[in-house]
Amino acid sequence: MPGRRRPLYEEDGAVLAVVLAAIRMDDETTTLTREGMPVLRVWERAAPEPVGRGAVPLRVAVSEDTLTLTARLPEGGEGMGAQARLEHLLPDARHVWVPHVTPEPGFVAGDHAFRSPAVIVANGQLALALVPDVEDVEAARRAGLRVWLDYDHPARMVTLAAGHYSTAGFHVGYRAEPVKYAGQEVRLRVYVLTSARPEDRANPYGLAARWHWERYGQKRHAEGGSQRAPLSRYCEHVERWAFGPGGWEETVWQSFTLEGEKAGAPAFIVDVAQHPSVPVAERRWREQRSVWNQAWFSTQRCANGLLRRARQVKSAELEDRARQMTRVALRAPQKDGLFPSVYTAGGGGYSLYKDTPDWSGARWAHSDRRPPSASPEAYHLLDGAFTARLLLEWHDLAGPGETEAVPYVRRFADRLCALQRPSGAFPGWVEPDGRVPATLAEGPETAMGATLLLELAERFPGEARYREAAARALRYLEEGPVAEGRWEDFETYFSCSRWWGDRVGERIARSGVFKANTLSMFWCAEAFLAAHRVLGGGQQDGAQRYLAIGRRCLDELSLYQQVWDPSWIPAPCHGGWGVMNADGEWNDARQSLFAPLYLAYYRVTGVPEYFERGVAALRASFAMLYCPENAQVRQAYERQHPAFGPESYGFMMENIAHGGPGTEVIGPFTIFTWGNGAALAAAATVRDLYGDVYIDTARKAAFGVDGCEATVDGGTVRVRDRYGRASLTAAYADGGRREVPLQDGRGEAPLAGPAPARP
């Protein structure tokens, strides 16, 4: 295929795209084979009702690994567009992936869901991925058409169309609609990837993810991706907006006293109804005035990142804020080790400031992102385990004077072990009296507890209970959620997309998949990477098995990463993430959470794609920031919020196009802990660990991180900067660091670095 960069992903000399042969043609179908094995049948007639009325069949041409589908629409009238149907011939599929669920006839996966589009199936003999060409999707848009696909799993039938669709049915579903015909020319290429390798049959997601990154993602990454300014410039905007004069500090920063100590943190959510131009008497709280330490909205994650950032820029003021934020976590009252996740003064529902209690009447509470079967007093173990892990990191960052975090975490971990179920899973929610609500009593949220226990097992190797409980949890995850692709967690059902919430644990039969959320994939990828590190010592087979499972999770997660920039999304989207297979967001802010994990997987595997994806995710973490450097996004904000100006540089909506195409593109709020503050934390963390340039001497590899490129030329790393800086920091894989002077945006560093600094 054009521009193949084989060394990026090819392993053991395997070729992942194959030459297809057309072996039979009758009046309606062409059957395609791989080495004599029937793989795909192309139906040369449109789909039946309800999506086939007045449709024009797409003609098919086969060349190597590519199906080229073409048609010319009539000069007038309307119909359901140009269509082709592809029937895969793989019975008993063990793995299925689609970009969006299509639960009933008439529902389709619209091109708004085409972040890394594919239909993937694999059985015991073969892995198959059908990949639409996104450049053809873009060309169809310019012709006034919207591309969609549908997958009927029981019939093994994929329908691909250039027509029209609208959002309908649920948040966010798409329904096919007629389109007006005007003689449009249609070309849609579909790439057919197959592999019989055992590792690809076990992990067909990597088959498609690698192809997407090579074909689309890597080129855009090399051009800079979503980054438009140095990461430090973005961080400065965030700091001034949240903490400094001339921004939104009087609303963002909340100060209070906890057990006689000064504490504070950014408010959970800040809305345009609180813009500095709005008189204080008229400002309103969109949601409760509160501070959260939850698996999304984590004040402690931001505190850890802010402490790193404070030390990087030598700011005592930022460090003090980070310490105040950490006091919130450490003062959450424990009951038998469990603790609440929210500290709130109340209010919300756009209540006026004057009608909202002050912090003197604050109380501890829990996240309201929970199932109806859980009471408001129920502890969410995922939230607790996430905060506990961050407190362990805080302990390491804060230094010898920090004595509270580890005992606090161990009390939680001991209770977590006691709550482990016979299956090895940890409960989702636990009531104060110990009862476990039935909804998501077991699920992939177990991964967060497993990772916490693995991290404790590293610190306390003599405490066998941590290691043993983690191993049982990993077995549950491997044999349950990972094997089934059952990525169900609190966000899957109890946030914006509540559809299917009365059928938790039930596969969507027509689509062949569960309603699936990216957070669960991420948590499991984390857990199995930790298992590779902690449990794999001296057991090479076991270590590699854990790593293979982790990569299977990470590669499926990669299929939700945006590898291109559609013209209809008014923001640079490359490297960012969608949420799930039943929602509409682009660049949903979770990329700041995911970025470090991809970089960590590179360290273990040496696969360059993972490092590049991690850097792309970090760059995308700031793509929605309102600031002059992000010119396209700035214009979109100002169209939606005309009052915005320099006082709002640093404001960041968590995502774009939340409701799908044709809906409000820019939203009205910022969540510091799931947007600008989380991006700052990720940038500070990555800079500490990987510098501006990362050099892996042993592998003879180098990567640009912060707006630069790095290439290895013999024993020299050549660096090119996009932003005219005087120097960049190179971090070496063995822990050494050096400054790289730049002149006219170019500089050099030796491939072999200085000796690492002593701890």
Q: What is the SS3 assignment for 603-669? A: HHHCCHHHHHHHHHHHHHCCCCECCCCCHHHHHHHHHHCCCCCHHHCCCECCCECCCCCCCCCCCCE
Q: Compute the half-sphere exposure of residue 419: CA atoms within 13 Å on the CB side of its CA.
A: 30
Rounded CA gap, 571 and 566, in Å? 9
pLDDT in the model for residue 709: 98
Give the pTM. 0.96
> How far is CA 225 from its chain centroid?
16
CA separation (Å) from 101 to 156, 165, 332, 372, 663? 14, 14, 40, 24, 20
End-to-end CA distance of the chain: 48
pLDDT in the model for residue 8: 28
DSSP annotation string for 676-734? HHHHHHHHHHHHHHHBSEEEETTTTEEEE-SSEEEEEETTEEEEEESS--SEEEEEETT
Q: Identify the CA nearest to 326 among candidates 383, 385, 397.
A: 397
* Strand (E) or helix (H) holding 148: strand 146-152
Number of alpha helices (DSSP H) and beta strands (DSSP E) in the chain:
20, 35
pLDDT in the model for residue 154: 97
pLDDT tens track for 144-195: 999 999 999 999 999 999 999 999 999 999 999 999 999 999 999 999 999 9
pLDDT in the model for residue 6: 34
Residues in the chain: 759
pLDDT in the model for residue 2: 32
Rounded CA gap, 717 and 51, in Å? 55
pLDDT tens track for 77-113: 999 999 999 999 999 999 999 999 999 999 999 999 9
Rounded CA gap, 254 and 223, in Å? 40
Mean pLDDT, contiguous 10-residue spans, the chain (759 residues): 33 44 62 87 82 92 92 97 96 97 97 98 97 98 97 97 96 96 97 96 98 98 98 98 96 97 98 96 96 97 98 98 98 98 96 95 96 98 98 96 97 98 98 98 98 98 96 98 98 96 97 98 98 80 89 98 94 96 95 98 98 98 98 95 98 92 86 98 98 98 98 98 98 97 98 80
Confirm if 631 and 608 have CB atoms less than 8 A apart. Answer: no
Helical axes 518-534 vs 464-477, angle rounded to 10°: 130
Q: Is the peptide bond preceding residue 50 cis, with omega within 30 degrees of 0? A: yes
Looking at residue 226, what DSSP letter applies?
T
pLDDT in the model for residue 613: 98
DSSP annotation string for 72-137? E--SSSEES-EEEEEEE---S-SEEE-SS---STTEEEEGGG-SS--EEEE-SS-EEEEEE-HHHH
Q: Identify the CA nearest to 162 among candidates 89, 56, 65, 252.
A: 56
pLDDT in the model for residue 13: 33
